[in-house]
Structure 1
Amino acid sequence: MENSEAGRRLIDGRFELIGPLGAGGMGTVWRARDIALHREVALKEVRPPDPATAAAQPDLAVQLRERAIREARALARLAHPNVVTIHHIVEPAPGTEGHPWIVMELLKGGSLHDRLAAGPMPLPEVVRLGLDILSALRAAHAEGVLHRDVKPANVLLRPDGAGVLTDFGIAALHGATALTSTGVLIGSPEYIAPERCRGEEGLAASDLWSLGMMLYVAAEGTHPLRRATSLATVVAVLDEPIPAPVRSGPLGPVLERLLVRDPAARPDGAELEALLRAASTALGTGAGAAAPAPAPAAVPAPAPAPVAGPGLYGPPPTTSGTRPFTPGGGSPYGPTTPVPAPAPARGRGRAALIGGVLALALAGGVVGLVQALPDGTSGDPDAKGSKASAPATNVAQAPATPKSATPKPQGTPASAAKGSLLTPDKVRTAVEAFKQQTGTTTFVEMTVYEGYVLASIPTAPGADTYDRYEYRDGQVKNDGPGGTVKPEEPLIDMAAVKWDALPGLLERAQQELGVTKPTSRYVIVEPWLFDASPSMRPYLTDEYGRGGYVYADTQGNVKKVYRS
C-alpha cells in the first residue's frame, strides 16, 4: 500500500504525502497530492501515532479499522455541502499488516477551533455557522446517523466562512456494530450532552446540545462548564447551572432554550432552524443586537481555568511526552479517546454524583477521562473525510465501455486468485458454516474478502437484534453484539443468492473499471441503500487507486457500474 518513488512517499501508488496537518490519538492527517488527478487532498492515516499505545492495546488496530470504515460509511450516506466529502478509502491487502487511509477533500480555511483561539466571533457569523452545522446534522439524522462529537475541532471552515462538519469516526449508525463497551462513553466532556453521560444514547437531541454549547463558546468567548479537570467537567455538565449568555443578543434566548438538560424540552431540528433564522433576522435589522465583540487583540491570553469556574476558551496547552492527542482542540480527524461514563440515577444529589464519578476514577477510569478532556493538541488539520464501500451518491457512474476498447486483462484474473474465498463453492461453504453455528442462512448482510468472511446474523428467528460473525480458515467465530435490524430493510437468504454469477461479476468489474491487476477485491451482499432491495456488489481497486464496484441484484443481474 505504501511505497516510495524518486524520493516521494506514495500511498496506494497514487497519493504523495507532503506533510502532516495534525495528529490525534487515533492517527495522523496529512496534506497530500493526488498525482493522478493533480489536486491536493487530505489523507487520514488511521493508526495510533504512538507505537507504545499500539503495543499496549493489541486489538486497537482492528478497532481503528472498524472506525475508519464506520466514518466512511457514515459520510457515504450523506451528500451535503456542510458535510465532509469522502473521495476514497485505501485498505490494506487481505492477509497483510497495515492500516486504512481515508482520502478526503482538503479544506484550507482552518478549523473553528483555530478561529476561536483569536476570540469570540461576530454574532452574524455565529448564527450562520449554527445554520450550517444544523443543516449538516439534520441531513445526518435523516439518514440514521448521529455524530456524537460536535465540537469546534470537528468543524472546518471554507474560505467563504461556511461551516463543514467532519470526523464521523465515532458516529452512531442505525444498525451498525457498536464500537464501545458497556459503561464507556465516547465524546469530548466539554461538549457532550448530559444524558449521554448518564448512559442514554441514540438521541438526535444530544447532537443539538453539543451544537448549542459550541455556539455559546463562539459567541461568548468562554466555555460555561469547562473545569480544570475532566472529572470536574463531567460533574459540571451533569449538575451545574449554565450562566446566562451576556454577549449573544438575540441568539441568547435560543441558546437558553437549547442548553436544557431534559432532551425532550429542547427544540428539534426544524424548530431550532426557525429560531436561528429569527435571530439572524433580528441581527440584520439591528433589533436586539449585542454590543460589538472586542477585537481579537483585546482578548486576554488563554490560561488554565480555575477549578471553581470556567476558563477562557483558547488554545489548549501543548501536549507532552507520548500522551495521546486529546479531542477538544486539535485534529478533527482522529477518533476520540473513550471516556469512562459515570451513570448516576436521575434525581441524585450532588454529593452522590461526585461520589459516583470518583468511584469510577478510582476503579481505573481516570486516564481515559483525562485524556478525553480538550486540554492538549498537536495540530488542527484543514481537511475532510473519505469513503469506504461507497454508494452511488459519492461516485460517478462509469461510462459503458465497448468491448473492443476494453483493455485485455493481464496477470491473475479477478475471479481466480489462488486460495481466494471469492468463488461460488467457497462462499457456499462459508454460508453453510455460518448455518451450522447459528441455524440460519438468513442474514442482515455479508461481506466476502479474499481470506475471510464477515456476516451480521439475527440473534434468533424474528429477533430485532443481530450478532457479528467471522469465518476464517474454516472456523466461525462470534464477534459479539452487532446492533438492531432495520425493519425497512429485508433480511437476505444467502443460500438463495446466485453465487455462480460471482465470477462473471468480478470479470465484468475488472474489464469495465479498467482494473487489469487488482490489488484489493471483495463483495458485499446487503440491502441497496436507496430502495432496500437485496444487492450484490463486487469491489475492485488496483495499486494506482483505480477501481469501483458493480451493482447487481442477488441473481447477478447488473444494474450499474460505478467508478471510484
Structure 2
Amino acid sequence: PDAALAHAAPATGTRPAPPRATGGTRLVAGVAAVAVTTVVAVIAMLAIALPAILDGSGAPAAGTGERTAPTRANEAGAGGDEPAETPGPETLLTPAAIGEAIAKFEAASGGTKFAQLTVYPDRASADAPTAGRRAAFDNYTYGKGADAAVRSRPSVAITTGDAVVDLKTFAWDALPALMSRAERTLKVPEPTNRYVIVRAAWAFNGDAPTMFVYLADEYGGGYLAVNTEGKVVRTAPADS
C-alpha cells in the first residue's frame, strides 16, 4: 500500500494543473470584458464632447487649437479706417453752394432777412439788419468750405434803405441757365471774373428784390438783371 501511495503522489515541486473552466465561468468572464470595454468607450466620448457641451455655443471651445475666421472689423483694426473727407464745392456759384451759404448767414446773423448778398466763386458776403438800430446793417462774410459765416464789420454803402429780403425766395435753381445766358449775351468773350449780387430793392425793377449776374474782364463787364422767379428783366452787355 505504501508503494502504491508513493507512486500516485505528484513529484516534489510540481504544481497541480488548474481546473478547466466550466461554461458558466467563461460566460461571466466575457460579460465582464464587454462591460469594461463599454465603460472605457463612454468615458472617451465624454472627454471629447463635454467641453463643447459646457461651452454652450456649439463652437470649438477655447484651447482646442481651432481658429475662427477674423471679421472685417478685426482685420481693419479696432478703429477701422477713418472716413474719407467729403470734398467741398469747386465754386460757390451753384444753387446748392449758395443755399448752404445763405444758411450760414442766417445762423450767424440770427435772422432770415438781408439787404444785400454778394457771391464770388470762392467767397460770399451778406448785409443783415442790426438789431435795435434803424437802417443799420452788419456785414457777414463766408469763405468756401468754412464751417460758419462771421460778422466782419458794420455795413457801408447800403443804398436800399430799410428794404430787406429773404434770400431763399429767389429761384436759385435757374442760376446755371442764367450763367450760360450771360456767357452768350454779355459780350465778354473771356471773362476773368464771375459773381452774383442780390439787392433787396432796385429802382429799375419797381423797387423789387433783384439778382444781378455779372461777367467781367480787365476792360469792363456786363450783367443780367433777374427777378425772384428767375426771369431776366434787363440785359446790360459790356459794350452798352
Please classify the TM superposition score into its range, dividing by the shorter chain length.
0.5 to 0.7
The structural deviation recorded for 1:528 is: 1.4
Partner of 1:34: none
Partner of 1:515: 188
Runs of 4+ in 1 over 6 A off after TM superposition: 484-487
Partner of 2:106: 435
Structure 1 unaligned spans of 5+? 1-417
- Kept in 1, the 8 Å contact 2:135–2:162? The answer is no
The structural deviation recorded for 1:560 is: 1.4
1:448 to 119, 141, 166: 119
The structural deviation recorded for 1:488 is: 5.2
Change (3 A) 1:492 1:462: farther
Change (3 A) 1:510 1:478: same
- Kept in 1, the 8 Å contact 2:115–2:164? The answer is yes
Partner of 1:505: 178
Change (3 A) 1:451 1:439: same
User: In the TM superposition, what are the counterparts of 1:4-15 in structure 2 within 5 Å?
Assistant: none
Deviations 1:198-222 (A, max 9, x none): xxxxxxxxxxxxxxxxxxxxxxxxx
Partner of 1:478: 151
User: In the TM superposition, what are the counterparts of 1:174-213 in structure 2 within 5 Å?
Assistant: none
2:215 to 536, 540, 545: 540
Change (3 A) 1:485 1:512: closer
Distance 2:105 2:213 in 1: 21
Partner of 2:234: 560
Give the partner amino acid of 1:518. P
Distance 1:518 1:443 in 2: 28
Partner of 1:468: 139
- Kept in 2, the 8 Å contact 1:422–1:522? The answer is yes
Q: Say how many residue pairs are matched.
A: 146
Deviations 1:248-301 (A, max 9, x none): xxxxxxxxxxxxxxxxxxxxxxxxxxxxxxxxxxxxxxxxxxxxxxxxxxxxxx
Give the partner amino acid of 2:228. T
| TM-score between both structures, scaled by the size of structure 2 | 0.55
User: In the TM superposition, what are the counterparts of 1:278-289 in structure 2 within 5 Å?
Assistant: none
SS of alignment partner, residue 426 of structure 1:
helix
Give the partner amino acid of 1:540. L
- The higher-RCO structure (CA 8 Å, 6+ apart) is 1
User: In the TM superposition, what are the counterparts of 1:99-498 in structure 2 within 5 Å?
Assistant: 419-460=90-131, 463-472=134-143, 473-474=145-146, 475-483=148-156, 490-498=163-171
Distance 1:461 1:426 in 2: 31
Distance 1:426 1:480 in 2: 24
Distance 2:195 2:177 in 1: 14
Distance 1:546 1:459 in 2: 34
For the pair shown, which has the larger CA radius of gyration, 1 or 2? 2
- Kept in 1, the 8 Å contact 2:94–2:175? The answer is yes
Change (3 A) 1:461 1:533: farther
- Kept in 2, the 8 Å contact 1:464–1:484? The answer is no
Deviations 1:488-519 (A, max 9, x none): 55211111111111111111111012334321
Distance 2:157 2:176 in 1: 32
- Kept in 1, the 8 Å contact 2:135–2:161? The answer is no
| TM-score between both structures, scaled by the size of structure 1 | 0.24
- Kept in 1, the 8 Å contact 2:125–2:142? The answer is yes
Give the partner amino acid of 1:431. I
Structure 2 unaligned spans of 5+? 1-88
Distance 2:170 2:132 in 1: 20
Deviations 1:366-412 (A, max 9, x none): xxxxxxxxxxxxxxxxxxxxxxxxxxxxxxxxxxxxxxxxxxxxxxx
SS of alignment partner, residue 490 of structure 1:
coil
- Kept in 2, the 8 Å contact 1:466–1:484? The answer is no
Distance 2:109 2:115 in 1: 13
- Kept in 1, the 8 Å contact 2:185–2:237? The answer is no
